Amino acid sequence: MADLTQKFDVLVIGGGNAALCAAIAARRAGASVLVLEGAPKFYRGGNTRHTRNMRCAHDSATEILTGPYTEEEFWDDLLRLTGGQTDEELAKFMIRESKDILNWIVEQGVRWQPSLGGTLSLGRTNSFFLGGGRAMLNALYLTAEKLGVEIAYDAEVVDLQIEDGMFLSATLKQPVGGASEIRASALVAAAGGFEANIEWLKEYWGEAADNFLIRGTPYNRGSILKMLLDKGVQDIGDPTQCHAVAIDARAPKFDGGIITRHDSVVFGIVVNKHAQRFYDEGEDIWPKRYAIWGRLVAAQPDQIAYIIFDSSVVTSFMPTLFPPIGAPTIAELAVKLELDPAALEKTLGDFNAAVQPGTFDHTILDDCRTEGITPAKTHWARKIEHAPYLAYPVRPGITFTYLGTRVNKQSRMVMKDGKPSANMFAAGEIMAGNVLGKGYAAGIGMTIGSVFGRVAGREAARNAKN
Ligand SMILES: Cc1cc2nc3c(=O)[nH]c(=O)nc-3n(C[C@H](O)[C@H](O)[C@H](O)COP(=O)(O)OP(=O)(O)OC[C@H]3O[C@@H](n4cnc5c(N)ncnc54)[C@H](O)[C@@H]3O)c2cc1C
């Protein structure tokens, strides 16, 4: 156990990818480093535990990536997905640095594996962690420990002492040992967003937030973010913006992870609790649309919706943790879902009648579409007519929030008066809003954490040594 009375060069708050990248980089730069992870050891690693891959620019195919993904293409994707709501200088810096991160992360013990299949088609752009996010984290923790980084678990930071943009100390609360004051020359805040804080979400979403499910850790309550913003750090990002997907309504409130996400939308239709369709299920290929469905469901009455499909497509998408609810007729399915049977029969009948002949191919924007109904299904529209009929109930699954601390290219926090903080840095979800004003590209959360984590660690170490 670390001697917590000593003054450390660098204090890192958080225990996920961004925190570990920062801690390792700071230690490699010669600093003494303490990591305070609020979660118990078994749950260490926040949302990073649930990840599978990371998006990095690269100029040619690698052993596991099927082709090049240039800086220009990455930037074009980011620009489109955010609708231009990104800090161009920081985003381009991140993309450039991501090229090097592909190798750096391997030097820290992380291994890659070939892309997983399924509906997201990421084989060219995203590198998958061998064994998933938890294995990736275990490798980073092992490296950090070997380098001499001190790590405390069950170590929630409950207050920060900051004066004129300068970090002085943090108040640590532990189940055993009570509260103590931790001093360090520099701070790296890598404590995630506020997605697990339902009360805070309610400030922007109202009562609807009670029906949100949180896909990741219950420990990301945004307490560090709030303290920093309250103590003079400039905020960035729209508090209502977040990454949210449709996940199974039967998933647990927290930590359901990737196996509760539904990728079957394009193969059927989606109705709300009034058995009405509300959005084009075939608007664009799934990797470009999966991340809008959380918000779409959030806007429906009682924040619930149902993906309806039939037995002909059950093997077309990745199965999830929960089996579909099935029935031999649409009316019986409606009863099981507690929907109005006549309303669901009409919606399905109207949909089937509107389907035009075409050649189905879910990998391209095919010509299978509807005509004469609103909303239209513009691609992959096929009649739903092969019993048994099946459904997944879905709710908004919040992945992470975008409101954050403004940083510069050194990952140094910027204060409300526009001046850079003397010794405070931020990395990961807590500053994601600098790059992600809205929208998302699969794998970019880990890019933000790794790139800015490494920069923050290096710069914090340099700051502490000077
Ligand atoms: C189901 C799921 C799947 C995902 N898949 C991917 C993927 O494949 N690729 C990708 O790029 N992104 C993915 N993401 C997003 C990704 O998880 C995040 O972008 C990334 O992990 C953020 O890393 P981080 O270090 O900033 O935060 P986290 O990994 O969430 O770490 C935050 C840490 O801060 C700690 N903490 C919070 N408050 C305190 C406090 N007061 N005191 C001390 N510690 C505190 C928490 O315990 C936690 O350890 C996924 C997210 C989820 C939920």
Residue 122 pLDDT class (50, 70, 90 cuts): confident
Decide whether any atom of ligand 1 lies within 6 Å of the 126 Cβ.
no
Q: Above 80 in pLDDT, residue 117?
A: no
C-alpha of residue 48 to centroid of ligand 1, in Å: 4
Strand-strand pairing, 235-236 and 242-248? unpaired
Please compute Rg for the chain using Cα positions: 23
Q: Residue 116 has what pLDDT?
A: 73
Q: What is the mean pLDDT of residues 439-446?
A: 91
What is the rounded CA–CA span in Å between residue 248 and residue 20? 31
Ligand 1 pocket: which of 44, 47, 425 to mutate (most atoms within 8 A of CB): 47
What is the rounded CA–CA span in Å between residue 216 and residue 263? 18
Q: Above 70 in pLDDT, residue 120?
A: no
C-alpha of residue 429 to centroid of ligand 1, in Å: 7
Bridge partner list, 393: 306
Q: Residue 50 has what pLDDT?
A: 97
* Cβ–Cβ < 8 Å for 8, 180: no
Q: Above 80 in pLDDT, residue 287?
A: no
Nearest alpha carbon, ligand 1 atom 27: 192
The 10s digit of each residue's pLDDT in 235-266 is 999 998 899 999 999 999 999 999 999 999 99
Ligand 1 pocket: which of 51, 141, 227 to mutate (most atoms within 8 A of CB): 51
* Cβ–Cβ < 8 Å for 412, 177: no
Q: Residue 118 has what pLDDT?
A: 60
Cis peptide before 388 (omega within 30 of 0): yes
E strands, 241-364, are: 242-248, 269-272, 305-310, 325-327
Q: Residue 119 has what pLDDT?
A: 52
The 10s digit of each residue's pLDDT in 407-419 is 999 999 999 999 9
DSSP symbol at 419 = P
What is the rounded CA–CA span in Å between residue 58 and residue 96? 9
The tokens describing 72, both together, are 């220009």
Nearest alpha carbon, ligand 1 atom 48: 46
Decide whether any atom of ligand 1 lies within 6 Å of the 437 Cβ.
no
Average pLDDT over all residues of the chain: 95
Decide whether any atom of ligand 1 lies within 6 Å of the 450 Cβ.
no
Residue 93 pLDDT class (50, 70, 90 cuts): very high
0.85 exceeded by the pTM? yes
